[in-house]
Structure 1
Amino acid sequence: MSDVRFDFVKCHGSGNDFPLIDARDIALSPAEWAAVARALADRRGPVGGDGLLLLGAGDADHRFAMAMYNADGSEAETCLNGLRCVARMGFEALGIDHARVKLKTSSALAERDADVAPGVYTVRETAGPAGLDVRAWPLHAGGEGAGIEQIVDAPVPPLGSDRAFTAVAMPNPHLVAFVERIDEAELVAIGTTCESAPDWLPNRANVSFVELRGQDAGSAPGQALFVRTFERGVGLTDSCGSAMAASAFAACLTGRLAYDAPITVFNKGGLVRAAVARDAMVSLSGNATWEWHGSVEVDIAAERAGDLIVHAHADAEIAAWARIADSAGR
């Protein structure tokens, strides 16, 4: 199989944008889907995106499944911004408003939620429990940290940084540092070190710098964060859902924010509402916005996207999200 035409929705969750394909009846191997992801997510091509989302068939325990391939073709354990979009497609396809969704190595609950703003289709997702055992990544800290099981507000010696990090699996791996002010050059440097898949971190990791923000309207004092992420397989990104979940969990774990209370998590793509339970389950409520519908031809062997047909733009949804993104200070 080489040239294939795919129908898809171009969508985004909190500014994290993807082509989304209903793949329930499409028989491609993981290697072929990785090639499709590299073709469609290429920002120099006709579609572009932070990765590729697939709606998959369910099983006895799940109404449907999600797969997410990063722009480099690697498959992520999850993508919470993407999950909301996949959930929306699954809800609409099956005529339901909640589901347990199968992920690569875990599952999550998704349900239609009250709109975070007029005209903004909103999904609440609950994932976890967040994991702290870095041996499962694996992350071999080396040096004085050799043999450690957890990293909580502590340096990671091989990074060559004095920053204190908290290592959280959501279930994909995240290193979270709380900073007074985000330095993007420093973030990119640390993220690039992780992206090189060194011997001590063979499966790489997402890296986030997080600022605590002041009181947010409608939330408890201090219950707001701003998150900037260098995403594994993507690079510096406007938004990463699992990073926002990991950052919220890390903030509660380290006593910076309160468990079981609303948290507003801002990013360059907009915002989500979060809550962290004491059992380490994290919920995010945010948008699943359609931008346009189209079809595109992909030469899978050459990993190249070709003829693109745009069927319709979702102008009202685009405008509704633009209002909330602007108000979030993007």
Structure 2
Amino acid sequence: MRLRIIKCHGSGNDFPLIDARRLALDDATWAGVARALADRRGPVGGDGMLLLTEGDGQYAFGFRMFNSDGSESETCLNGLRCVARAGFAALGIEAARVRLKTSEADVARDDDLADGVYTVRETAGPVSLDVAAWPMRGLGERVIETPIAATGSARAFTAIAIPNPHLVAFVEAVDEAELVAVGGVCEAAPDWLPNRANVSFVATPQSETLRGPREASREPDALFVRTYERGVGLTDSCGSAMAASTHAAGLTGRIAFGTPVTVFNRGGMVRAVAGEDGMVTLSGNATFEWEGAVTVDPATGVAGDLVIERWHNDEIDSWARVADAAR
């Protein structure tokens, strides 16, 4: 099949995006399309695949996200901003309520983070602390600043779903080897965590990791988030991880709820605010890099014959300046 795509990214989290409002494909076919398009060895590549889907009386449009392994995620807040931009353009609007897989979110065009950086504000939640609903077994009703022996790490984790499940550990410095090891344990879907979870190591405002970036930011508080994402692996950016980490910072008293926070990652940054009501607002880029068409065989998970019809070089350059400053 021949599909039109937009290659886009939110805070460095990159995806092929498809307007699927008129495409009647079943979930198994979409999973095959995702494996083909997100394959880094293929012509497109990405952390996953995004779909703009039809709305209804309650929602202006819908959102779906498939990971690179073909599994479907509850949400992806970096990807949601990109789908929101496509939905705004398709419908001629600048704000909407969006249907997600198991929840909903409000999105709106926001003031640009920097010159030439298309920016979307998104509000998601409320977060859930009920780990039995994931399920995460044998650890009680809530996990807040608690070691989880089964991870193989002595670190204290906080468990938050928004609605993707996340394990957040605050650290002085990010040890990527340790993060990959813990993420691999969770990715294996052990009996105590059958649906897996995203794992994030988060550098605190007081850490050496954030001294330079924090001084460069205009917000009084900052976090640096590094995530091992289920279905993806180690990723430069994960929007729901940044949201979960911001809420965890409030929950554990590191940053007061309601405080504007600059959240840095390997792909760039977003602005975030976590409320005591469990809602988290992120404001970040929705950058379009190019538009084109590609042939996909969902059965084999192979893509080919890519034709790029339009480059968005100005947007690419504008975001590169933001990302360079964040690093």
TM-score bracket relative to the smaller structure: over 0.9
Matches within 5 A, 1:209-220: 209-213=201-205, 214=211, 215-216=214-215, 217-220=217-220
Which of these residues, 182, 186, 201, is aligned with residue 190 of structure 1?
Answer: 182
Deviation at 1:157, TM superposition (A): 2.2
Deviation at 1:57, TM superposition (A): 0.3
Find out whether 1:72 has 2:69 as its counterpart. yes
Find out whether 1:156 has 2:153 as its counterpart. no
CA distance in 1, matches of 2:150, 2:136: 10
Matches within 5 A, 1:9-158: 9-140=6-137, 142=138, 145=139, 148-158=140-150
Aligned residues: 319
Partner SS, residue 58 of structure 1: coil
Q: Is the 8 A contact 2:136 2:192 kept in 1?
A: yes
Q: Which residue of 2 aligns with 1:241?
A: 239
Which TM-score applies when normalising by structure 2? 0.96
Deviation at 1:212, TM superposition (A): 1.2
Deviation at 1:132, TM superposition (A): 0.2
Which TM-score applies when normalising by structure 1? 0.96
Partner SS, residue 279 of structure 1: coil
Q: Which residue of 2 aligns with 1:206?
A: 198
Deviation at 1:204, TM superposition (A): 0.3
CA distance in 1, matches of 2:152, 2:307: 48
Partner SS, residue 319 of structure 2: helix
Question: How big is each residue's C-alpha offset from its partner over 1:94-151, in whole Å with a ceiling of 9 and x where there is no partner?
Answer: 00000000000000000000000000000000000011000000001x3xx3xx0000
Partner SS, residue 236 of structure 1: strand
Letter in 1 for 2:107: A
Deviation at 1:247, TM superposition (A): 0.3
Letter in 2 for 1:218: R
Which of these residues, 311, 314, 319, is aligned with residue 312 of structure 2?
Answer: 314
- Greater shift in the superposed pair: 205-214 or 318-327: 205-214
CA distance in 2, matches of 1:106, 1:160: 32
Partner SS, residue 278 of structure 1: coil
Deviation at 1:301, TM superposition (A): 1.6
Letter in 1 for 2:218: G
Letter in 2 for 1:168: I
Over the residues paired in the alignment, what is the CA RMSD in angstroms?
0.8
Question: How big is each residue's C-alpha offset from its partner over 1:35-67, in whole Å with a ceiling of 9 and x where there is no partner?
Answer: 000000000000000000000001111000000
CA distance in 2, matches of 1:168, 1:233: 18
Question: How big is each residue's C-alpha offset from its partner over 1:131-190, in whole Å with a ceiling of 9 and x where there is no partner?
Answer: 1000000001x3xx3xx0000001112112110000000101000000010000000000
CA distance in 1, matches of 2:50, 2:291: 14
Q: Which residue of 2 aligns with 1:325?
A: 323
CA distance in 1, matches of 2:299, 2:50: 20
Q: Which residue of 2 aligns with 1:180?
A: 172
Identity of aligned residues (%): 66
Partner SS, residue 318 of structure 2: helix
CA distance in 1, matches of 2:301, 2:316: 29
CA distance in 2, matches of 1:232, 1:74: 9
Unaligned 5+ segments in structure 2 are 206-210
Deviation at 1:218, TM superposition (A): 2.4
Deviation at 1:293, TM superposition (A): 0.4
